[in-house]
Amino acid sequence: MVNELKDLLDREPFAAFRIVLTSGSTYEVTSPYQIAIGQTQLHYYFPRSDRKAVLRMNQIASYEDSERTSS
């Protein structure tokens, strides 16, 4: 799961994607600089804000392209 996240962040050109948690919460990643990856968690930085969220790796259910819509 971590390697997949790193691959998404390293894409050239960068393409926005969404992190989906097991709770159903989603986080839009519009820049590769929005995320800091640790061993068991990642820090997600909200755009144009000083806010951040700490997401545990074991809570990540999937990654989706931002263009996809959930049904």
CATH number for the domain including 10? 2.30.30.100
> Per the domain annotation, does 71 fall within a domain?
no
For residue 28, the enclosing domain spans 2-65
- 52 CA to centre of own chain: 12
> Residue 44 has what pLDDT?
98
Token digits of residue 35: 């995320």
Q: How many domains, in total, are found in the chain?
A: 1
> Per the domain annotation, does 61 fall within a domain?
yes
Whether 69 has a pLDDT exceeding 90, the answer reads: no
> Per the domain annotation, does 70 fall within a domain?
no
pLDDT (tens digit, 9 = 90+) per residue, 5-48?
999 999 999 999 999 999 999 999 999 999 999 999 999 999 99
Would you tell me how many other CB atoms lie within 10 Å of the CB of residue 10? Answer: 9
> Residue 68 has what pLDDT?
56
> Residue 70 has what pLDDT?
45
> Per the domain annotation, does 12 fall within a domain?
yes
Averaged pLDDT, 51-70 = 87
- Cα separation, 33 vs 30, whole angstroms: 9
**Residue 33: φ, ψ to 5°:** -90, 5
